[in-house]
Chains A and B, each alone.
Chain A
Amino acid sequence: MSETFKLSPLDIREFSLSNGLRIILNPDNAIPVVSIAVYYNVGSRNERADRTGFAHLFEHMMFQGSENVPKAGHFQYIMKAGGTMNGTTSSERTNYYETLPADQLPLGLWLESDRMRSLAVTQENLDNQREAVKEEKRLRYDNQPYGQIFDLINEMIYKNFANSHSTIGSMDHLDAATVEDVQEFFRIYYAPNNAVLVLSGAFDPETARELVETYFGDIPSQPLPPDLDVTEPTEVAANYREWEDKLAPFPAFLIGWKIPPRRSAEFNALYLAGKILYDGDSSRLYQKLVKGDESVIQLFGFTDERRGPSSIFVGAIPKPEKDLSKIRETIMQEIHDLASHGPTAEEMEKIENQLINDSVRMRQSSMSRAQQIAEFALYDGDPKLVNTELETLLSIKAEQIRHAVGTFLNTDNRALLDVVPAGKG
């Protein structure tokens, strides 16, 4: 079936401004809606060892107003237009996006350009956003059961500091930051030549181009950010750690493996192996552990895709009184089986259908199209990969999955984090 299935390609048009801002237009007039995605090429991996948490701090600073947009004005303008918006930070990038009725494209571009040009990096904003980040850390990490385990396991998987430290960062570093540090970070990383702007949805490409030039054209470019080294040895930094979690009601564990970069053939094969192992009610581990043994309350797994060395995780919260080591044995047995025999024909059929389905559904919304295009543009320098990625994934053979699982997962070169409840009960 993969041979017969063809999706018509998305209309992708690229151009750049003289200040280095890269723009990708994906006109699609089906519904009068437009999405704008601005991806800045800065994530936690760009942070200095004594200034962690800066990339994420900016996700907050960017809503504090700029020359012509008051504090919290961004949100108000978008909402009154009937739109939606947000921003997120990862190791790889910081993104900002909005979906608007098509006729409000100028509003979205005006808002994004004003903060790219003239973000209000003031002492007052820094002080209150620093506090906001601390509050977020307490809520989402420190005071959440299991809230810190992903940060901890990244420190166990990666040896290179650029890869291993958390996105939320160190509160001491944020406290030590001066307003000049923050202005400097903004100047370097929030420059037009360090960003990608994607428009997807209902617009006239000529009009859009003119608007982009009007609003972004005279934002000055900046010298390129410093070089970055994200290389890693293949060995993980630590194999085992026990973590006492005061808030966790139940024991849990998380296994993480270091794997090749996103979009490498091995990474793609492991991404598909993950679908077979932990995705959906008919996946192997769900059937073994949640249904068959009825030994776990919650099972989860995912891949963390990065431009450099990446990772894949499997974790579980077992039912009370269940033997954790037995559950881990079952997981490793399934991995061993997949490494020995490879996926079944039925499994290959299922993941094929799921891949096609995911790919088609991604195209339905202007926002998900804009985000995918922005990633390919920023990470790979080629937004048109959005049109060939499905084919790339469908071309992966069962044997490649078997081999990749054997090489990267069926091994002791992995990190195991054991979560031990340490509260008073």
Chain B
Amino acid sequence: MPADIRTTPPPPLGAVEFDIPKPIEHRLENGLRIVVVEDDRLPLVSFRLAFASGDINDPPGHTGLSSALGSMLVEGTANYSSLQFAEKVERLGSSLSASVSDDFTIVAASALSLYSSEILDLLAEVVLRPSFPEGELDLYRRNTVEHLKFQRSQPGFLANEQASRLIYGDHPYATISPNAADIEKIDRESLSRFHAAKFIPNNALFIAVGDVNANELFEQLNAIFGDWQSGKVASAEYAKPPVRSTRSITIVDRPGSAQSNIVLGNLAIKRTDPDYFSVLVMNQVLGAGASSRVFMNLREEKGYTYGAYTRLDTKKLAGNFEATAEVRTAVTGDSLKEFFYELGRIREDLVGEEELRDAKSFLTGVFPIRAETQEGLTNLIVNQQLYGLPDDYLQTYREKVDAVTAEDVLRVAKKHIRPDEMAIVIVGDAEEVLEQVRSYADSVEIFDTEGIAQDESKYAGVKGGQPVDIAGKWKLIIDFQGQQLPVSLTLDQDGESVAGLLETMLGNGKITDGKVTGSRLSATAAVEMQGQPIEFAISGKADGDSMTGTISAPIVPDPLPFAGSRA
């Protein structure tokens, strides 16, 4: 083989067409719309019965009702108990479940095509005749209340809860979860009433993908769903999301947090916005992946975090743009600086040619891989249908990504990323964080993890002050699930800056960017694993010759406490 073929990566072959068959459509007299994509490559079928009703359609005062309805559908029907139903489904080697999102409720079933009729009957059974047995409902309420408690211990949940509230205001997208009182209120009667109102054929879309004959299926569906009574689809009016004109900071105080969860967000585009593809490519360049700008900056260059990303959430009626990272407490302010630097840069300068090409080739490359399995293909078709995207959306997806130019990226960045109006949410130790970040916004509010507003003066001015002397060799003991692991920390100090070495049984890591504020030390040590540096974040408080604190790494779920003294 000639050497030059060997030394450079080969160019791609000619583009391969992605031929997704066109859907065949039909409507029953009661208004049920049916979309069929015949795909007989394998003897499989995927059915979806989707309702244009999701969490945002919860009746006022009944947050969580849609979710509960989705979960309870398979927990008992007129003809089967929960257990009998599970056995029926498994006996066929098939699957059936329901899921609820902001905008939709989707009942999904998959089976071998030879059991197409059986699984359709089971699907109809849960949709038309759920019985919401008292015992199962009681179990649902107990499990859900437990889950809600667990959620409040998760900083990611707390950050999203605040960000959604700030971005969406009085719009129902602002609420991401019910509370315990909402769950306790859910009873058979409210479920039955809600089921009767929302599960009507003229509010539904039936999608079939796979080894089916469209005409035969239409007849079959008519036999199963023909008598299903249509009803009145309630038209909903929602409050408009607020127009923001200033930048704000919201801190959720978790005392002792070694990390700060940061979310920066603003309102962006809904799913059908004509800017969609340009925003998608822009987001890929900026922060969607592990070679995007914010990752390269905050993780690879600065080492503030294990991962930093931007993301788009494009819903039916609106959407938002967010930049997120979990960073060491001491670099919370510095991380905001880098985020705003990147958000500014993408709005000021045209993206480079190679950067644009890499982002587009990632997006066009990964797209067909998502359509490989029937489930994957079905999900793409379901989204195209439910959001009302153009008929040729899937067929032209790659062309549309390819057509995005550097100028498009710049234009949509200016329009949809608005750093001066952003809501900044930080879940972390408010005492540690407040003075670091205050200058980044016009206003600051602080909450506890239960969502109760706190007086800002409690936290103001606590941090800061002259760095104490922290230099020397520290012998520390980490408590790892009951095991005592010795580590040593050798620190050289120059004012606020600290460098040195972390020595552990797992390997050693250099400290290059440590910082002392008052009596607090924060530093990271990168220990190499599989060629990737794994970051250990150290957060300590010195008191003379003794030190306590926590050490955390992406590979351990919780920060590990340590204590020890200067040798």
Contact = CB atoms under 8 A, between A and B. Distances in A.
A249 to B, nearest CB: 9
A246 B530 contact: no
A224 to B, nearest CB: 25
A360 B91 CA distance: 16
Contact of B531 (A31, A80, A129): A129
Interface in A1-45: 1, 5, 7, 29-33
A77 B373 contact: no
B500 interface: no
B21 to A, nearest CB: 11
Interface stretch (B4-12, B25-33, B229-237, B265-273): B4-12
Contacts of A102: 13, 16, 368
A107 interface: yes
Contacts of B364: 82, 101
Contacts of B369: 33, 82-84, 99, 101
Interface in A377-425: 423-425
Nearest to B363: A82
B549 interface: no
A106 B365 contact: no
A60 B505 CA distance: 21
A202 interface: yes
Given A63-B531, A128-B531, A350-B90, A31 B6 contact: no
Nearest to A29: B16
B358 A214 contact: no
Contact of B368 (A33, A60, A106): A33
Contacts of B12: 81, 101, 103-104, 106-107
Nearest to B83: A291
A48 interface: no
A202 B531 CA distance: 33
Contacts of B91: 282, 346, 349-350, 353
A63 B529 CA distance: 12
A60 B530 CA distance: 7
Interface string B473-485: 0000000111100
Nearest to B113: A360
B42 A363 contact: yes
Interface string A109-120: 011001000000
Contact of B43 (A99, A218, A360): A360
Most chain B beta-carbon neighbours within 10 Å: one of A64, A84, A361: A361
B361 A82 contact: yes
A194 interface: no
B545 to A, nearest CB: 28
Interface in A190-206: 202
A294 interface: no
Contacts of A111: 9
A366 interface: yes
Contacts of A353: 91-94, 112, 115
Question: How many interface residues does chain B have, given as a range?
Answer: 35 or more
B528 interface: yes
B372 A214 contact: no
A32 B529 contact: no
B373 A365 contact: yes
Contact of B481 (A84, A202, A247): A247
A214 B10 CA distance: 12
Contacts of A325: none
A112 to B, nearest CB: 12
Nearest to B13: A103
A101 B481 CA distance: 44
A357 B481 CA distance: 42
Interface string B356-371: 0010011111111101
B41 A30 contact: yes
A217 interface: yes
Interface in A84-107: 84, 99-107
A229 interface: no
Nearest to B211: A360
A7 B363 CA distance: 34
A107 B42 contact: no
A71 interface: yes
B527 to A, nearest CB: 8
Contacts of A128: 528, 531
Given A72-B531, A106-B13, A424-B482, A31 B112 contact: no
Given A350-B93, A353-B92, A364 B374 contact: yes
A320 interface: no
B373 A131 contact: no
B506 A138 contact: yes
A227 interface: no
Contacts of A100: 365
B18 interface: yes
Given A129-B531, A360-B43, A360-B112, A32 B480 contact: no
Given A1-B114, A214-B1, A107 B86 contact: no
Contact of B90 (A1, A63, A280): A280
Contacts of B6: 67-68, 110, 114
Contacts of B11: 106
A170 B365 CA distance: 41
Given A31-B368, A103-B14, A129 B530 contact: yes
A132 B528 contact: yes
A354 interface: yes
Contacts of B482: 246-247, 423-425
B42 A364 contact: yes
B115 to A, nearest CB: 8
Contact of A79 (B7, B291, B371): B291
Nearest to B553: A139
Nearest to A219: B1
A31 B363 contact: no
B42 A101 contact: no
B44 A360 contact: yes
Interface string B87-122: 100111110000000000000000110110000000
A76 B14 contact: no
Nearest to B11: A106
18 contacts: A32-B18, A33-B368, A33-B372, A63-B530, A80-B358, A81-B12, A81-B365, A105-B13, A106-B11, A132-B529, A132-B531, A207-B13, A218-B1, A291-B83, A346-B91, A353-B94, A353-B115, A360-B44
Given A135-B527, A350-B93, A425-B482, 14 more contacts: A5-B114, A31-B372, A63-B531, A71-B531, A103-B14, A103-B15, A132-B528, A132-B530, A134-B506, A134-B507, A143-B481, A247-B481, A360-B112, A423-B482
Interface of A: 1, 5, 7, 29-33, 60, 63-64, 67-68, 71-72, 76-77, 79-84, 99-107, 110-111, 114, 128-129, 131-132, 134-136, 138-139, 143, 202, 207, 214-215, 217-218, 246-247, 280-282, 291, 346, 349-350, 353-358, 360-361, 363-366, 423-425
Chain A to chain B: the 8 pairs with minimum beta-carbon distance, closest first:
A82-B365, A353-B93, A32-B16, A357-B93, A106-B10, A82-B366, A103-B12, A132-B530
